[in-house]
Amino acid sequence: MTDETAAIPTSTTLPEALSRYAISLPPEQVEVLDRYCKLLWDWNTKLNLTRHTDYDKFVTRDVVDSLELSKCIQPEEDVLDVGTGGGVPGVILAVTRPDVSVSLCESVAKRAKVAEAIVRELGISCAVLHGRGEQLLGEGHTFDTLLFRAVARMEKILRWFEPHWGAMRRMLLVKGPSWLEERKASRERGLLARLDLRKLATYTTPGTGAENVILQISPKRG
């Protein structure tokens, strides 16, 4: 086996993985994120929460997506991570953006309890709400921005939340290459007729070459 074909060793620490992918964070944030990894992976042995169970995957998938989302969020926004699962991107945003109010919502009771336990153990300011996102908005919760990552296809999300635009200002969706087909399907169903869709960011997942986008969906003005 030549050097060119030899596998790159996996990172053994979070600082090593962050450095490998040229991501710089304050040491205190790295320490909390490292504890988060270990808590998440420990819970993952009991309840399926993530497939990203090494530092390289955590950084290239979870941290990269969360930091790209962070660039699209203004200080003091109220954001809701819909279908948070094990806490991505919400927990990472709560750690790296203390100037933003982050809430997590999860409809599966066991996962919501795990998210509560993780947030409590980390000592971060992050509300955890048990229920479907559209149900929570229907009950009177309001947010500036709803975040969606690996939740559902665009047309499903738009149908679920169609009655609740009065309770939010916009959605931010993390999507892969299928976003174009999802946009087409949403348009054909008339789900974007009164909405603006903008692509705020395009970026590549390190190590895979996969192209991702962050889409903003908000009501049309006027």
Looking at the predicted structure, is the pLDDT value of residue 141 above 90? yes
pLDDT band, residue 4 (cuts 50/70/90): very low
For residue 202, the surrounding DSSP H or E stretch is strand 195-204
Q: What is the pLDDT of residue 67?
A: 98
Q: How many CA atoms lie within 13 A of 99 on its CB side?
A: 6
> What pLDDT, in 10s, does the model give residues 48-107?
788 888 999 999 999 999 999 999 999 999 999 999 999 999 999 999 999 999 999 999
Spatial separation of the C-alpha atoms in residues 101 and 87, rounded to whole Å: 15
Looking at the predicted structure, is the pLDDT value of residue 3 above 90? no
Which percentage of the chain shows pLDDT scores above 70? 96
Spatial separation of the C-alpha atoms in residues 72 and 123, rounded to whole Å: 25
Spatial separation of the C-alpha atoms in residues 134 and 18, rounded to whole Å: 35
Looking at the predicted structure, is the pLDDT value of residue 202 above 50? yes
Q: What is the pLDDT of residue 207?
A: 82
pLDDT band, residue 2 (cuts 50/70/90): very low
Which percentage of the chain shows pLDDT scores above 90? 88
Q: What one-character-per-residue DSSP string does 142-199 give? A: -EEEEEEESS--HHHHHHHHGGGGGGEEEEEEEE-TTHHHHHHHHHHTTTTTTEEEEE
Spatial separation of the C-alpha atoms in residues 127 and 200, rounded to whole Å: 27
Spatial separation of the C-alpha atoms in residues 139 and 129, rounded to whole Å: 12
For residue 215, the surrounding DSSP H or E stretch is strand 211-219
Residue 148 burial by CB count (10 A; 0-12/13-18/19+): exposed, middle or buried? buried
Of 139 and 9, more confident: 139
- In 69-121, the DSSP E strands lie at 78-82, 101-106
Q: What is the pLDDT of residue 48?
A: 78
In the sheet that 211-219 helps form, which strands lie side by side, from edge to edge?
127-130, 101-106, 78-82, 143-149, 168-175, 211-219, 195-204
- β-strand 195-204 against 143-149: which pairing, if any? unpaired
**Domain annotation for the chain: domains and CATH numbers:** 14-219 (3.40.50.150)
